[in-house]
């Protein structure tokens, strides 16, 4: 039985990844560093500092200093905000409503520290995420793909790992969820091919948020029946 869902934000709750990727590319271009916009879809879930350090090592052959990482991430965030309000991911509100109707608790687990979106959660998803049920980049030492964010999310639930479901749209997020020992669903809301999620071991892969929202009631019921059958078998 699924008692809690640990839910990513960008690309799951908000259709924000096209803006994030463009902001990352523009910030790096200003710094004189060439990047491919689509590569940032593959880095989704990593902390800003980790993303900057990865590119510095590749392009400049050195680590970014803490001061550089802080300044560059702030500039990226400013560019992102200047692009205007980001829309809610189509069908994500229906997905959240289904979880709430079935009594499934929710924990936000995002690699972002982008307050422009985090501050909108109460407005766009009223009652979905209590303030003490949120894990952001500010709460972890190691971001995704390290399992720490999802392990911290799991700790907030107070339930068993087999009673938790991760909802992700990024391969690194799937790796983090599986690394935490959790049932992990991938929803392909961006350009990343299905094969990338298969390689990371996603338990289920859906081609869109709409498809996931459609299947969610049956998924929750099947997981409930599966747990009941296991209990019967143990007896």
pTM, full prediction: 0.89
Of 61, 82, 103, the last residue of a domain is 82
State the residue range of the domain holding 225.
4-15+87-234
Residues 115 and 216 in one domain: yes
Q: What is the pLDDT of residue 231?
A: 29
Residues 101 and 210 in one domain: yes
Q: What is the pLDDT of residue 166?
A: 98
Q: Whole-number mean pLDDT of the chain?
A: 93
Residues 219 and 146 in one domain: yes
pLDDT band at 228 (very low <50, low <70, confident <90, very high): very low
Residues 136 and 195 in one domain: yes
pLDDT tens, position by position, 4-35: 999 999 999 999 999 999 999 999 999 999 99
User: What CATH number is given to the structural domain containing 78?
Assistant: 1.10.150.240
pLDDT higher than 60, residue 232: no
pLDDT band at 226 (very low <50, low <70, confident <90, very high): low
Residues 94 and 65 in one domain: no
Tally of CB atoms within 10 A around 201: 14
Residues 65 and 94 in one domain: no
Dihedrals phi, psi of 66, to nearest 5 degrees = -60, -40
> Count of residues for the chain?
235
Of 35, 64, 82, the last residue of a domain is 82
Dist. CA 118–CA 86, nearest whole Å: 12
Of 29, 61, 82, the last residue of a domain is 82
pLDDT tens, position by position, 37-64: 999 999 998 889 999 999 999 999 999 9
pLDDT tens, position by position, 130-170: 999 999 999 999 999 999 999 999 999 999 999 999 999 99
Residues 95 and 209 in one domain: yes
Dist. CA 235–CA 222, nearest whole Å: 20
Residues 152 and 214 in one domain: yes
pLDDT tens, position by position, 186-225: 999 999 999 999 999 999 999 999 999 999 999 999 887 6
Q: Which of 218, 45, 6, 1 is nearest to 128 (CA)?
A: 6
Tally of domains in the chain = 2
Q: Find the mean pLDDT for residues 105-132.
A: 93
Residues 106 and 220 in one domain: yes
Residues 68 and 125 in one domain: no
């Amino acid at each position: 039985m699924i008692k809690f869902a640990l839910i990513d934000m960008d690309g799951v709750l908000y259709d924000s990844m096209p803006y994030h990727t463009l902001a990352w590319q523009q910030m790096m271009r200003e710094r004189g560093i060439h990047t491919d916009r689509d590569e940032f879809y593959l880095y989704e879930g990593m902390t800003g500092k980790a993303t900057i350090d990865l590119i510095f090592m590749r392009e400049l052959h050195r680590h970014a200093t803490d001061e550089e990482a802080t300044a560059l991430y702030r500039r990226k965030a400013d560019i992102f905000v200047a692009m205007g309000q980001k829309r809610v991911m189509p069908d994500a509100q229906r997905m959240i409503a289904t979880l709430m109707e079935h009594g499934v608790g929710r924990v936000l687990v995002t690699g972002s520290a982008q307050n422009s979106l985090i501050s909108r959660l109460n407005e766009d998803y009223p009652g979905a995420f209590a303030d003490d049920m949120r894990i952001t980049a500010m709460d972890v030492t190691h971001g995704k793909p390290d399992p720490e964010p999802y392990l911290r999310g799991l700790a907030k639930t107070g339930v068993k790992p087999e009673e938790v479901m991760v909802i992700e749209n990024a391969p690194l997020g799937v790796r983090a969820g599986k690394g935490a020992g959790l049932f992990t669903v991938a929803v392909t809301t961006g350009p990343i091919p299905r094969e990338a999620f298969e390689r990371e071991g996603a338990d289920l892969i859906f081609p869109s948020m709409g498809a996931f929202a459609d299947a969610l009631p049956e998924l929750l019921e099947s997981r409930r029946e599966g747990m009941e059958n296991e209990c019967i078998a143990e007896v």
